[in-house]
Amino acid sequence: MTLPTPSAAASLEVTDEIGSIPDSSSNPKGSESRSPGRLAWKRFKRDRTGVISAYIVIFFFAISICAPLIAKLYGKNPYEQYGQEKDGLLNDFAFPVKPNGGIDSNFWFGIEPQLGRDVFTFLLYGIRTSLMIATAATLLTTVVGVVIGITAGYLGGRTDYFVGRVIDILLSFPSTLFFIAFMPVVYGLFIPFSDEVPTWLRATSLILVLSAFGWASIARLLRGQVLGLREREFVEAAKVTGASSRRIVFKELLPNLWTPILIQSTLMLPAYVTAEAGLAFLGVGIKDPTPDWGVMIQRGAGFYADDITFMIFPGVSMVIFVLAFNLLGDSVRDALDPKSKR
C-alpha cells in the first residue's frame, strides 16, 4: 500500500491550455456559444467507459449512504453473530454449513466463518466507513494542498523555498511506517489507558494523518501551475489595476486551476480507499467490531483455502470500486482536457 501520489506527470500537461479553452478550436462544432464546462460535459457523456464508471461510483456512494436503511429492510445488522446464535449455520469447525460460504435467502452474501456475522450488512457498513474516511481525507487534502500550493507559487521567494522543502520532506517520508509507529502514541495521549479508543478518534486520526501526508503532491503540482500563470498578461493586468493578492489568487488564478484540482482529487479518493483498507489490514486503522472494508479483506485472507466466498465479496467489490473510480478520474481528465488524450 502506498499513500496517494497520483500521476503528477499526466496532469502537468493540462494547464497551459486551460486559459485558452474558450477560444479553442479543438471542437469546432461547439465553439461559438458553449462554456468550457458544457463542452467538457458533452465530451464526458460520449465516453462510455466514463459513464459506466460514474454509475458504478454513484452506486457505491448510494449504498453506503443508505446502508442503515438497506440493513433495516434486509432485517440484519453487522454486529450480531447470527452463525453462533442459531444452530445449523456453522459446522463444528465454525465454517458455514451451506456451500459457497453459507449463501442462502437469509444471508445473501453468506456468513462469516468463526464469528458468524452477516457478510452482506458487514460489507455495506464497511464500504460506508471506508468511503466516509476516504472522502473526508480527500476533501481535506485538496483544500490544504490548494491553499498551500497556490500561496507558495504566487508569493514565491522565501515562502516558496520553505514550503518546497517541507513538501520534499513529506514526499520522502515513509508515511505508512510512521503511521504504524505513531498511532498508538497518539491514542495514548488522548485516551486514558483503561478506556477503549473511540471509533470517532480512530477515524479522525486516520483522516488527519492521511491528509497530512497527502497534500504535498497536489500542492507541488499547483505551485508549478501558478508559477507559469502568474507571469501571464491577465495577472499582470490585474496587478496594474490594483487588485489585491487575495483577489488575484481567488479570482484570477484559481478558476484556471480547477481542472488539475478535479483530476487530482478524483484520482486521490480511490488511493485513499486502498490506503485506509491497508492500514486497517495492518491493524492500525479502524478496529473490529466497527465494520471496515480493509478489516474484512484481512479476515477473508485467513480463510481463502476453505471459504473463498468470504474473501471474494469484499475483495471483488473493492477492485470494482477502485477500478471504476480510477477510470472515472481518467475520463474526467479526458473530458476537461482533450489534448492529453492521445
Partner 1 sequence: MSFSRRNFLIATGVAAGASTVLSACSSGNAGGSGSNKAPSVDKAAAATIAVGTKADSTGPAPEVEGAVKGGTIYTLDQIDCDHLDPAQLYSSYEGAVSVPFLRGLTGYKVDAKGKVTLVGDLATDAGTMTDGGKTWAFTLKDNVKWQDGADVTIEDVRWTFERLFAKFVTQGPRYPQSWLIGGDKYKGPYEGKHLDSIEISGNTVTFRLKEGHSDFNFMLAMRGFSLVPKKHDTKEKYDKQPFSCGPYKIESRSIGKSMTLVRNTHWVADTDPIRNAYPDKFEMQFGFELQASTDRYIADAGNDQYTVSMFNEVAPTRMQQVLGNATLKKRVLTQVDTTCYYYAINTKRVPDVKVRQALNYAWPSKQAQQIRGGSSSSAIATTIISPLTPGHQDFDLYGKKTKPTGDPEKAKALLKEAGKVGQKVVIAFQQSDTAVKTAVAIKTALTKAGFDVVTKQVDKTSFYSQIGQLDNEYDLFAAGWGPDWPAGYAVIQPCFDSSQIADGGVNWPQLRNTGVDKAIAAATVEADPKKAAKMWGDLDRQIMELAAVVPDYNPIRNWMYGSKIGGIQYDAGNTCIAMTKLYRKA
Q: Is 93 in the site for partner 1 (CB under 8 A)?
A: yes
Q: Of 81 and 340, which CB lies nearer to partner 1 in the complex structure? A: 81
The one among 47, 252, 307, 334 contacting partner 1 by CB under 8 A? 307
Q: Is 95 in the site for partner 1 (CB under 8 A)?
A: yes
Report yes or no: 255 and 301 within 8 Å, Cβ to Cβ.
no
Binding mask 247-286 for partner 1 (x = CB under 8 A): ----------------------------------------
Residue ranges in 177-206 that form contacts with partner 1 under rule CB under 8 A:
193-196
Q: Is 116 in the site for partner 1 (CB under 8 A)?
A: yes
How far apart are the C-alpha atoms of 60 and 293, rounded to whole Å? 13
Residue ranges in 30-89 that form contacts with partner 1 under rule CB under 8 A:
79-81, 83-85
Minimum distance from CB of 115 to partner 1 (Å)?
Answer: 6
Residue 55: partners with Cβ closer than 8 Å, 6 or more residues away:
none
Query: What is the CA angle 200-201-206, rounded to 5?
Result: 100
How far apart are the C-alpha atoms of 34 and 85, rounded to whole Å? 62
Residue 4, C-alpha cell as written in the block: 496517494
Nearest CA to 268 out of 315, 204, 215 is that of 215
Residue ranges in 316-335 that form contacts with partner 1 under rule CB under 8 A:
none
How far apart are the C-alpha atoms of 314 and 307, rounded to whole Å? 13
Q: Of 269 and 318, which CB lies nearer to partner 1 in the complex structure? A: 318
Binding mask 142-181 for partner 1 (x = CB under 8 A): ----------------------------------------
Report yes or no: 194 and 123 within 8 Å, Cβ to Cβ.
no
Q: Of 62 and 301, which CB lies nearer to partner 1 in the complex structure? A: 301
The one among 94, 201, 227, 238 contacting partner 1 by CB under 8 A? 94
Nearest CA to 317 out of 278, 272, 274, 286 is that of 274
The one among 4, 6, 50, 96 contacting partner 1 by CB under 8 A? 96
The one among 22, 156, 188, 302 contacting partner 1 by CB under 8 A? 302
Q: Of 92 and 231, which CB lies nearer to partner 1 in the complex structure? A: 92
Helix ranges (H only) for the chain are 8-12, 36-46, 48-65, 67-74, 82-85, 99-102, 119-155, 157-171, 175-190, 199-229, 233-240, 245-247, 258-282, 293-302, 309-336
Q: Of 60 and 82, which CB lies nearer to partner 1 in the complex structure? A: 82
Q: Of 32 and 193, which CB lies nearer to partner 1 in the complex structure? A: 193
Q: Of 152 and 284, which CB lies nearer to partner 1 in the complex structure? A: 284
Residue 90, phi then psi, degrees to nearest 5: -115, 140
Residue 32, C-alpha cell as written in the block: 461559438
Q: Of 32 and 195, which CB lies nearer to partner 1 in the complex structure? A: 195
How far apart are the C-alpha atoms of 274 and 173, rounded to whole Å? 19
The one among 22, 37, 68, 99 contacting partner 1 by CB under 8 A? 99
Window contacting partner 1 (CB under 8 A); options: 30-38, 56-64, 90-98, 155-163: 90-98
Q: Is 113 in the site for partner 1 (CB under 8 A)?
A: yes
Report yes or no: 61 and 119 within 8 Å, Cβ to Cβ.
no
The one among 20, 289, 323, 339 contacting partner 1 by CB under 8 A? 289
Residue 245: partners with Cβ closer than 8 Å, 6 or more residues away:
154, 155
Minimum distance from CB of 273 to partner 1 (Å)?
Answer: 23
Residue 19, C-alpha cell as written in the block: 486559459
Which stretches of the chain bind partner 1, using CB under 8 A? 79-81, 83-85, 90-102, 113-116, 193-196, 288-289, 302-303, 305-309, 312
